Amino acid sequence: MTERPAIATERIPTGIIGLDEMLHGGFLPQSANLVEGAPGCGKSTLGMHFIYHGALQGEPGMILTFEEFPQQYYRDAAAFGWDFRALERQGLLRIVMSSPEVIKADLERVGGTLERQIAEMGTRRILVDSISHFERVSDTPVTLRSHIYAFLNGLRREGLTSLLTRETPYLLGEEITANSDADSSFIADSYLLLRYVEIESAVRRALIVLKMRGSDHDHRIRQFDIGPQGLYVAQPFSGREGLLSGTSRRMSESFIKAFVKR
């Protein structure tokens, strides 16, 4: 199948090998981009890579965390050769640990603490790790959706391109469903899904871009991994089916001849 040409527009590159190719250059400016996956599959690493690459280009970034202490990000970044402390000293990075309750109240008033910090730094990118914690301040799915919608609009209002992580409890084989009243994937401008998949008794990582509002993108499922210099995306899986169910299997020869090799 021949892919449609990319839509020419400004992009915010992630700096991740292979992912920018899938996104036809990167995320759209001032967009909210959701990355969902199981624990340990690479969501935070992808987000840190996005922030680090921006800082190298002179675009100040912020990490807003509801769970991890800043020291954890320093250690994780150092494993890839990224000196987050040095970037903080240069005014290119700030790590803010807070809670959904505090951030929600802060964004509801003019001149709040977060707004002030964003203005002071000239922040362009933000990693929110993770929006799953907004469930604590929401008693119904409709309320949850409303809170996340207001939060994302607050980030857009500040001119930020945001990357939001969300954790799913499923390690392998979750059915992809979406609740129109609560699922934040409907609110986000793009939706990336990270999955563990089993192939011939080995667990690998898979990535797919399910949605990218206002732009075309690569629709194929690609393998990705985490190496010494961060996350990288490899070539698409070929000759396999059932990848998103967690356990893949080889396509039948007749299917490959009829569709894949056409």
Closest-CA residue to 22 (of 251, 229, 223, 166) = 223
Q: Where are the beta strands (DSSP E) in the chain?
A: 32-37, 61-65, 93-97, 125-129, 161-167, 190-199, 202-212, 222-227, 230-236, 240-241, 249-250
| Domain assignment of residue 132, yes or no | yes
Residue 260 tokens read as 């894949």
| Domain assignment of residue 81, yes or no | yes
Which CATH number does the domain housing residue 239 bear? 3.40.50.300
* Structural domain boundaries, residue 42: 19-260
How high is the pLDDT of residue 100? 85
Distance CA 217, CA 35 (A): 15
| Domain assignment of residue 160, yes or no | yes
Distance CA 126, CA 94 (A): 10
What's the domain count of the chain? 1
| Domain assignment of residue 86, yes or no | yes
Sequence letter at residue 244: L
Alpha-carbon distance values, 205 to 43, 220, 248 (Å): 12, 14, 12
Looking at the DSSP bridge assignments, the partners of residue 190 are 33, 212
Alpha-carbon distance values, 14 to 23, 157, 208, 245 (Å): 9, 21, 15, 27
| Domain assignment of residue 125, yes or no | yes
pLDDT in tens, the chain (262 residues): 444 444 447 999 999 999 999 999 999 999 999 999 988 999 999 999 999 999 999 999 999 999 889 999 999 999 999 999 999 999 999 999 998 888 878 877 777 888 899 999 999 999 999 898 888 777 788 888 888 888 888 899 899 999 999 988 766 655 554 443 446 667 899 999 999 888 777 888 999 999 999 899 999 999 999 999 999 999 887 755 555 555 555 544 433 343 344 3
Q: What is the DSSP string of 19-86?
A: HHHHTTTSBPTT-EEEEEE-TTSSHHHHHHHHHHHHHHTT--EEEEESSS-HHHHHHHHHTTT--HHH
Distance CA 212, CA 218 (A): 10
How high is the pLDDT of residue 198? 81
| Domain assignment of residue 80, yes or no | yes
| Domain assignment of residue 12, yes or no | no
| Domain assignment of residue 237, yes or no | yes
